[in-house]
Amino acid sequence: MNKSLYTILTFARINTRRFFRDRIAIFFGILFPLIFLFVFGGIFGNNSQANFHVSLINNSKSDFAKQFVDQLKKESAFKIDEDDKTLDAAKEKMVRSQIDATIILPDNFGAIDQATQTPKGQAEVYYTQNTQQSGQTMTTIIDGVFRDINKNITHAAEPFTVVGKQINQKSLTSFDYTFAGLLGFALLGMGIFGPVNVFPELKKQGILRRLSTTPLKVWQYFCSMAISQSIIGLVSIAVMFIVALTVFKLEVVGNVLVLVAFLVLAIIEILGIGLAIGGWARNERQAAPLSNIITFPMMFLSGTFFPRFLMPEWLQGATAYLPLTPVIDGIRYIVNEGYGLTQLGPQIGLMLGWTVVIYIIAFRVFRWE
């Protein structure tokens, strides 16, 4: 075996064993992310709600349409949102689970039928594949509203009806959307706080100084760290997936091998930040503040705990280029939408760019003591 490869694998094995022998490291690397998983799973895992949150698009200018909208707002079963002007805008919210369905009143809704001299029209209720039950329930409620109206208008054929239409897309549950952020949080903790906690201690004990007197090169040490952290990270993420699938019924659409390949790249990228901070810092007093300054903005601005689409547009544009943002977006695209690696070009490209920049910095600032 090549001497460089043997050296890398040896130190990777040492680093991996050190982790699994350290109870504190196991707690913060594996059990701590699980605590967050249960907390957020408990918050977002139950999607039941008293009201249906719907987007109402009124394309009709008739007086009856205005009266119907006012009456629908009084229904306790509905929470009405009139911000969306097109079905495409409403679809985006449905896919993100911001709303349950969309009610559309066509432009001829409420128009006077020349034959009967009464208003008529058909409302449309759009819902996604996995909100079919809610969509059908809303259709039934609106149909009941129309029956009351119809009785006061005519005893003949009902002039007002409602039809439910399912769009060929699935929306994410709140937990499905949050889970990718929780994985990003776990990667952030393992990739940054792992080296930041280990390196200053190794320097304090003089271990790294003794290693510097050996033929061991910095790049070999970094490669061994990348291998060991990838193994540890995949173990931690596998545990999170098992819990998410069995306890919170996570829906996984994407390919597992694609996800593993993407996660390895993500671990290597985030690890570079930890190597740069831990390699530069002489002690814990230097490492802790710097790691917090770098970590906390990414933790709250990259979509870890709440979606980025809730941020102002200017902030969304700025945070799109943070190192953690393409990681969380990519995980969400793979797990929830079934993307392949070729469809993740922007995310992978940004991650590779950050990886090159971060490791150049890490090599330049690394200190053996």
Structural domain spans, the chain:
3-44+173-365, 52-166
Query: 113-122, pLDDT tens digit by residue?
Result: 777 777 888 8
- How many residues in total does the chain contain? 369
Query: 184-203, pLDDT tens digit by residue?
Result: 888 888 888 777 777 777 77
pLDDT of residue 128: 83
pLDDT of residue 173: 64
pTM above 0.95, yes or no: no
Calpha distance 59→27 (Å, rounded): 56
Span 59-76, average pLDDT? 82
Cβ 18 vs Cβ 231: under 8 Å: no
Query: 201-222, pLDDT tens digit by residue?
Result: 777 778 878 877 787 788 888 8
Residue 349 pLDDT > 90: yes
Sorted by sequence, the CB contacts under 8 Å of residue 108 that are 6+ apart come out as 60, 121
Residue 326 pLDDT > 80: yes
pLDDT of residue 49: 45
Calpha distance 316→333 (Å, rounded): 17
Query: 113-162, pLDDT tens digit by residue?
Result: 777 777 888 888 888 877 776 777 778 777 777 777 776 666 555 566 66
pLDDT of residue 170: 56
pLDDT higher for 267 or 167?
267
Calpha distance 277→365 (Å, rounded): 8
Domain 52-166: give its CATH code. Answer: 3.40.1710.10
